[in-house]
Amino acid sequence: MQNITILGSTGSIGTSTLDVVARHPNRYQVYALTAYKQVDLLFQQCVQFQPKFAVLLEEGAVAQMRARVKEAGLAVEVLSGVEALEQVCIANEVHAVMAAIVGAAGLRPTLAAARAGKKILLANKETLVLAGNVFMEAVRASGSALLPIDSEHNAIFQSLPHHYNGDMHGSGVRRILLTASGGPFRNTPLSELQHVTPEQACAHPNWVMGRKISVDSATMMNKGLEVIEARWLFNAQADDIQVVVHPQSVIHSLVEYVDGSVLAQLGNPDMRTPIAYGLAYPERIASGVCPLDLFKVARMDFVAPDFERFPCLALAYDALRAAGTAPAMLNAANEVAVEAFLDKRIAFLDIPKVISKVLNQLPVSAVHELDDVLEADARARAAATALLGDA
C-alpha cells in the first residue's frame, strides 16, 4: 500500500489522480490533499478518500474547512500555509507526492519532497523551469524517483531507453520531438488575435485543463515551458528539442535515434494515462482511459511551429539559452500577464509583449540556490506589475 500526498487535489491533474487512485483501493491510500481555497470540492474529496491531512493556503478557506470537517465528524486534520504543504510531503508515512500545484507556488513543497527522497510525480513544470539545477541536484542527492506526468514528458520518458542516464549521445538519441496541439488559435488569422477573449483562449480543442494552463496552451508558452522542463528532465540542450505541432494530440511525443528509428507514445488525450504510468511505474495499471481507435483517428498531421503566431515559444527558447535566472523571470512575467489577461486588463497579444519587456529590462544572473530563483521571480513579478500599471 502506497501513501500518497496530492498537491493541488482540486485541479484537473489532482482530480484525475484521485480517479485513478479510486480504481485501485488495494494499492493506494491518500495521506494528504491540498488546495488553495476550493473548500467545497476539497471537502467532498476528504469525505471520499479520508486523508489524514487537508491543507489550504487561503486563510478564510481554512476556517470554513475546519468547521465542515468538524460538523461531519471526519478524522481529517486541516492545516494551512506553505510550511504545511512541505510537512505533508516529507512525512515518513508518505511514499509518493503528486506535484500538481499550478505555478511557482508548487516549488517549495516539491523541492522539499525531493530532498526527503520521495517518489515525485511531477506535473508542476514551474519547479524545473524556475529551479531546474537546484531541483535535479536534490533528486540526485536523495535518490528520489522522479516520474514526469506532463503527457509529453511522460511520452518521452516511455520512449527513451530503459534506465536512460541523461547521456543522449551514449544512448544513441539524436533529438527529442515534443508535440504540441497548437491550441485553439492554430489557424486563427493573426489580425483577429488582438480581440481574443479569455473564454475563447480557455476553450482548448483537445484537453480539459485549468484556465491558466489553457491560456498558456493558446499562446504556446505552455510548450515553451515544457521545452525548458525537458532540458532538465532528459539533460538535453535547446537544439536537441524540436517542437512539432500535431493537432490531433494522439502522439504525445517522440524520440529520434541515430539509426533512423523514431519511437512514439500514442493514446487518447487523457491525463489519467501518464498519471497511472507514474503511480505504478514500472508496472502498468488500468487508468479508466478508453482504448485508442486508430480507425476513428484516421489521419495525423504535423507542422512546424509558427514563431510569429506564437512569440511566447520563441521567448522560452531564448530564456533557455540565456540560462541562469532567465527561465524564472520568463515564468514570473508570464504568470502576471496571464492573470491580467484573464481579468480582462490586457489583450491576448499583450502577454508576450509584457514578458519580452521584463526579460529585456532585468539582468540575468547565475542560480546557485533556491533564494536566487525566488529573488529573480519577485523582481520579474514586480517589473511585470509595474508595466501593467503603465499600460
Q: pLDDT in tens for each of the 391 residues of the chain? A: 999 999 999 998 999 999 999 999 999 999 999 999 999 999 999 999 999 999 999 888 999 999 999 999 999 999 999 999 999 999 999 999 999 987 777 889 999 999 999 999 999 888 899 889 999 999 999 999 999 999 999 999 999 998 899 999 999 999 999 999 888 888 888 888 888 888 888 876 665 667 888 899 899 999 999 999 999 999 999 999 999 999 998 999 999 999 999 999 999 999 999 999 999 999 999 999 999 999 999 999 999 999 999 999 999 999 999 999 999 999 999 999 999 999 999 999 999 999 999 999 999 999 999 899 999 999 999 999 999 986 5
Q: Which domain holds residue 346?
A: 323-391
| Residue 316 included in any domain | no
Element (H, E) at 389: helix 370-390
At residue 124, the pLDDT reads: 87
Confirm if 238 and 159 have CB atoms less than 8 A apart: no
Q: Write the CATH number for 359.
A: 1.10.1740.10
| Residue 298 included in any domain | yes
- Check whether residue 168 and residue 133 sit in a common domain: no
Closest of 177, 174, 176 to residue 259, by C-alpha:
174
At residue 390, the pLDDT reads: 62
- Check whether residue 91 and residue 73 sit in a common domain: yes
- Residues whose CB falls within 8 Å of the CB of residue 2, separated by 6 or more in sequence, listed in order: 27, 28, 29, 95, 96, 279
| Residue 253 included in any domain | yes
At residue 205, the pLDDT reads: 64
First to last CA, the chain: 54
- Check whether residue 142 and residue 163 sit in a common domain: no
| Residue 286 included in any domain | no
- Check whether residue 6 and residue 131 sit in a common domain: yes
- Check whether residue 133 and residue 18 sit in a common domain: yes
- Check whether residue 17 and residue 164 sit in a common domain: no
The total number of structural domains that make up the chain:
3
Alpha-carbon distance of 348 to 7, in angstroms, equals: 29
Last residue of a domain, one of 93, 123, 148: 148
Last residue of a domain, one of 126, 148, 170: 148
Alpha-carbon distance of 205 to 208, in angstroms, equals: 8
- Check whether residue 156 and residue 64 sit in a common domain: no
- Check whether residue 121 and residue 187 sit in a common domain: no
Last residue of a domain, one of 93, 126, 148: 148
| Residue 281 included in any domain | no
Q: Write the CATH number for 51.
A: 3.40.50.720
Burial class (CB in 10 A: 0-12, 13-18, 19+), 48: exposed
Counting Cα atoms < 13 Å in the Cβ hemisphere of 389 gives 6
| Residue 387 included in any domain | yes
- Check whether residue 6 and residue 137 sit in a common domain: yes
- Residues whose CB falls within 8 Å of the CB of residue 333, separated by 6 or more in sequence, listed in order: 354, 355, 358, 359, 380, 381, 383, 384
Counting Cα atoms < 13 Å in the Cβ hemisphere of 164 gives 20
- Check whether residue 352 and residue 378 sit in a common domain: yes
pTM across the whole model: 0.91
Q: For 139, list phi and psi in degrees, rounded to 5.
A: -65, -45
Alpha-carbon distance of 153 to 129, in angstroms, equals: 14
Identity of the amino acid at 168:
M
- Check whether residue 65 and residue 181 sit in a common domain: no
- Residues whose CB falls within 8 Å of the CB of residue 311, separated by 6 or more in sequence, listed in order: 352, 356
- Check whether residue 177 and residue 302 sit in a common domain: yes
| Residue 340 included in any domain | yes
| Residue 285 included in any domain | no
